Chain A
Amino acid sequence: MHRTRPLVLVAIALLADPTGKRWGYELSKASGVRSGVMYPLLRRLLTEGWLTDGWEDEADTGGNRPPRRYYELTDLGRRELGGLLQAARNDQRFRSLNPRWAM
């Protein structure tokens, strides 16, 4: 997958909690990528098999709102995004993201 700034930002946000369930809106907030770019990107990650998705339990919603769709990293996704971040660290284009590497 082509290494772009939004992809790197999303990878950083996803790998901050590699085993957790993540929501689209929350990921958008954490990564700083606007939702118009985020959702197509999530679709591509799903197609590549780097993410899996599922729906929140009805019991967790309290019955007063619709269940949300969550995303989880697969083993392949953890490996690939980890590799992508390693490569991005040495890439001049992503130098400005340096403070985020520590996260």
Chain B
Amino acid sequence: MTELIETVGDATLPAFLTALLVFGFAPGFVLRLLVLLYPKSDSRRPELHAELYRMPRVERPMWVAEQIETALFEGIAERRRAARDREAVLRRLVGYRIVVRERRTSYWLLGFALLGIMEAVWLVFNLPDFGPFTGYAVSSFADWGVSFLAIGMVFAYLNHRRRIRDAKADLLSGRLSTAEGREKWMR
């Protein structure tokens, strides 16, 4: 029993000290990071920040820790709602789904890239077990191949992000409603 208490004590002391350092000495900074989960225009951002400076110092660390829950559940939900609203406005504006289509493609590409990277990591740690030479040759070949694919996917993703920005700029400037704009985006 004593050993168990000592083990738990040893494991939790650094965690406790880290938590004390983060939440105790820099609650304002941690809170500023947490409220980034809310959409930019959400009034909860300045509200939580203002509340922090009106409460007793001793209560601040625990209160900031509580805001992790608030920000995770409320902030992310609000962010998703705001994204849906923006998308709805864009659809109404243009009448077709260029931006939505582009965004979905970019998510797929990013997903493939992440899978590729995970695959490469897995290969590095697992394939050498097959044998000293074959394992090494196969793993380095596969590793290079998968890494190349993953890097390609990341570039494709970034390119799609750029295309989304272009599409939005064309939407807002009205170029999209011209024949040239349609030719560019509806192909």
Within 8 A of A (CB), among B61-113: 63, 66-67, 69-70, 73-74
Residues of B within 8 A of A43 (CB): 44, 74
Contact B55 A39 (CB under 8 A): no
Contact B50 A35 (CB under 8 A): no
Closest CB-CB distance, B42 to chain A, in whole Å?
A: 10
Contact partner of A35 (CB less than 8 A), chosen from B49, B53, B54, B66, is B66
Contact B69 A66 (CB under 8 A): no
Is B10 close to A, CB under 8 A? no
Residues of A within 8 A of B70 (CB): 35-36, 39-40
CA separation between A96 and B136, bound complex, in Å? Answer: 68
Within 8 A of A (CB), among B25-75: 43-44, 46-51, 53-55, 63, 66-67, 69-70, 73-74
Q: Majority SS of interface residues in chain B?
A: helix
Is A5 close to B, CB under 8 A? no
Is A67 close to B, CB under 8 A? yes
Residues of B within 8 A of A39 (CB): 44, 48, 70, 74
Contact B74 A40 (CB under 8 A): yes
Tally of contact residues, A, Cβ under 8 A: 16
- Answer whether A65 and B66 are a contact pair too, CB < 8 Å, given A39-B44, A43-B74: no
Contact A36 B43 (CB under 8 A): no
Within 8 A of B (CB), among A2-60: 23-25, 34-36, 39-40, 43, 53, 56
Q: List 21 A-B contacts (CB under 8 A).
A: A23-B54, A25-B55, A25-B63, A35-B66, A35-B70, A36-B69, A36-B70, A39-B44, A39-B70, A40-B70, A40-B73, A43-B44, A56-B50, A65-B50, A66-B49, A66-B50, A68-B47, A68-B50, A68-B54, A69-B46, A69-B47
Chain A residues close to B by CB (< 8 Å): 23-25, 34-36, 39-40, 43, 53, 56, 65-69
